[in-house]
Amino acid sequence: MKKIAIFASGSGTNLQSIVDYIKQGTLQAEIALVVCDQPGAFAIERAKKENIPTFIFKAKDYENKVAFETEIVKELRERDVEFIVLAGYMRLIGETLLSAYSHKIVNIHPSLLPAFPGKDAIGQAFNAGVKITGVTIHYVDEGMDTGPIIAQQAVDILDGDTRDTLQVRIQDTEHWLYPDVLRKILA
């Protein structure tokens, strides 16, 4: 059983869906650690409820990115984590983590990359007036949402959609696509 870590900064709905797939037996993996850079994030509550160990930090308590990523790598190694799953982790991954987990970090992004990288991809697509957007899962490199693409799923933008209704459909898509792709990658 592969040991994975999930990195989150926010509500953790993707974390929850991965947990649920594991509990149902449709994804074979063990979440050995949840890493979170926002001490108030609801993702932490979800991890605690599931008895998943957490490493919670504040970037400003460290001198720089190398310092906190060195600490994260130590935590990951202590728990024999083999693979990192970014699920709403709002920081660029630095050289320390990238070299320790080369080609073993994946991210989910709520657009069809390379369209609409960065923050608020759903709002960006909505405001651009495109008729199709979607979800991308990709390997992580040093760029912002730029690594090799693993999977994409289109989501139509419907007449009458608001940014919020679109977000609901994008997130519903994320919640089955991520566990599905992880099942294939971790097999």
Show which residues are catalytic: 109
Q: Please, what is the Cα angle at 98 between 5 and 96, to 5 degrees?
A: 100
Six token digits for residue 77? 């190694």
Beta-carbon-side half-sphere exposure of residue 130 (alpha carbons within 13 Å): 18
Q: How far is the CB of 63 from ligand GRF (least distance, A)?
A: 27
Q: How far is the CB of 187 from ligand GRF (least distance, A)?
A: 23
Residue 64 vs 165, nearer CB to ligand GRF: 165
Q: Quick check: 179 binds ligand GRF (CB under 6 A)?
A: no
Q: Contact with ligand GRF (CB under 6 A): which of 108, 140, 166, 177?
A: 108
Question: How far is the CA of 113 from the CAs of 28, 30, 32, 131, 178, in angstroms?
Answer: 28, 29, 29, 15, 15
Q: Contact with ligand GRF (CB under 6 A): which of 31, 84, 88, 97?
A: 88
User: Any idea what DSSP says for residue 92?
Assistant: -
Can you say whether the dihedral through the CA atoms of 136, 137, 141, 142 is positive or negative?
positive
Six token digits for residue 120? 């608020």
Distance of CA 157 to the CA centre of its chain: 23
C-alpha span between 79 and 54 (Å, rounded)? 11
User: What part of residues 146-175 is at the interface with ligand GRF (CB under 6 A)?
Assistant: 171, 174
Q: Quick check: 10 binds ligand GRF (CB under 6 A)?
A: yes
Q: How many CB atoms lie within 10 A of CB 140?
A: 22
Q: How far is the CB of 186 from ligand GRF (least distance, A)?
A: 19
Q: Contact with ligand GRF (CB under 6 A): which of 4, 5, 6, 8?
A: 8
Q: Quick check: 134 binds ligand GRF (CB under 6 A)?
A: no
Q: How far is the CB of 77 from ligand GRF (least distance, A)?
A: 25
- Pick from 75, 114, 84, 100: which is nearest to 8 by CA? 84
Contact window for ligand GRF (CB under 6 A) among 6-14, 57-65, 68-76, 94-102 = 6-14
Which residues bind to ligand GRF, rule: CB under 6 A? 8, 10-15, 43, 87-88, 108-110, 171, 174
